[in-house]
Structure 1
Amino acid sequence: MFRTLGGGDLATNGTKQIHPHAVTELCEDGGRIYAHALRAGRVSRADAEAAPCLMEFALLHPDPDDADWLRPVPPAVALAQRLHPLEREIAERRRVSIELADVFEPFLALSARATTPTHSITVLEGFDRINAALDLATAQCQSEMLTVQPSGRRLEHTLVQALERDKPLTDRGVRIRTLYQHTARHSPETLAYVAQFSDGKVEYRTIDELVERLIICDETVAFIPTRDDRQVALELRHAGLVRYLIKVFEFMWNRAVPLSTGAPYETAPDGITDIQHSIAKLLVEGHVDEAIARRLGMNVRTCRAHIAKLATALGSGSRAQLGYLIAQSGILKQEP
């Protein structure tokens, strides 16, 4: 059922005629008949039946001299009738905006005199607010963006969002450096995303272990998640915190392997791969399989397969013996 959008009634067999469009969307018949009425000075009721909206919107009114005819309301009059309430509403909104400005003016003055930033750390709750803040920061980024992306299956729509956010950056010459975990080398979605950026200003490296996501724009603002479901994040604009996070990033970057150089899982002279060295270190620290898999960005089955190969290489027959043999082998003294 359509709702009434105009003013007058048009009786048709005793029923009120209702129309599905507003006066700002005057139908083709309505425009044609109204134009004819303006040119001729009037239009018959029979002809106007094709566009009952003209009566609904008070663009036609009965001819006082002949009930079979309708006369057009001058467009200047019709326009003024519709503009008047809008102008009243605009005036009211202006009055409210002035009152709001008066209310906040003393607080704005206090804020301007403050020497300590009041928004150095902002809590962002919900994906929409987090993404809006990221979009604003990347839109304002002019020099370099640093990102840390721990591995895990990245959903296609997430990569599409990242592409829509990052592509404009590279188009205006911003440098991007991204750290993934080694397991990202086996993710078709991640590799397809990386393939979209062939510019030398975009660099990708991988490392065995990352802690959490991190995004830094222009050494000015950083974003970190605060919950595992990533529904809450912190926007950091404290200069000291941002500088510290940049140093953390550079520390990991210098130990990472360029994505373009091939797999980092080459077997070392001792028969143990880099990833197995990382697993050995975490095993000795007492981590269980699930925790090791999570920290290295792989599934538990893959992690256990590496543990089995490590046990074979060291000649271990049990989990307890494996820890002892790792400690005795000296492999943890080597730099992975």
Structure 2
Amino acid sequence: MPAPDGPRDQVASETAMRLGLSDTAREVYLFTASNPGLDRAVARDRLGLPFDEVDVALASLEAARLIRRSSGDQGSHHVSWVAVAPELAATSLLADQEEQVARLSLDIAERRAQFLALLPGYLDSRAGSYSEAGIEVIETGEEVNTVLSRIIRDTQKQCWCAHPGNGLNPENVRTSWKNDQEMMARGVELRSILQHSTRTQLGAQRYAALAIPAGAKIRTIPLVPARTLIYDGELAFLSRFVDGRPKGALLVRDPDLVGYLIQVYEATWSLAQDFPIDVEPAGSDTELDDTSRAVLALLAAGHKDEVIARRLGCSVRTARRHVSAIMETLEAESRFQAGVRAAQAGWLDA
């Protein structure tokens, strides 16, 4: 085969890097596939192509491994060509590159493994730095109560709260008010954001009746998504959720994050409505008539609906309506709980 000239070298190099066959090269390849042993003279005569175009096409096909010299032409000046199946050509041409890719992939995997080996230590270090950086995870309810008690005792300026749900349990009003009253005695500003639904709830009404006249501020919004407590503008106590369920709490001291929570609280507070105090606190004697008081006394004594109906001189259906109304007012889930809450509210006093 004649020595390659400049243009042929360039074509061979470019084709070896990127398969970009010309129309002439594709025509020569297909003709070679149907005519094994093709030489340049035959290609010229049969395809009507000049020698320079035939030579360029053969060079590009050889570089792409799509043709090879006939086995009988080795060392001969007369060269003929045989077409190679495309899949074999691809295997031959890309073998070196595939080997390089495999080596590179292995190298990347090894380097990734080396980086990932640092991950456990990194996570341990980050977890240990949370308390220093200003975030502490509190896992259990007992720990939450212990930490909250300490924070409440040390608070000097502000206590801003947001409580989700129906607010205070009537059974916990006195305990909650005792803690808040002690803070207010130290000059602590007390704010609470509750949900609108708490306006008709016994526990919230009783707490508001005690706290608002003493100087506490209570407002409501349609929905409080999660419990938030901010103390002295320096630390925050947030509900913690794991897989969508509450679990423990987060104690935040990071000044940037606390500052953000303060801004959110202020914005929410500006849109909230004052808790109404122009109603008697739930649990006052004026809310009960004699019949309701009698039903409560019988409930507290453990009597069934039939006995209550007989004592009141009414039907069992009417007695059950009285019982249902009282349990709804007290937010009680059982008769026993209704009796306990009625006693705590002073409704069973003689």
- Relative to the length of structure 1, the TM-score reads 0.41
Q: Which protein has the bigger helix share?
A: 2
Which is higher, the Rg of structure 1 or of structure 2?
A: 2
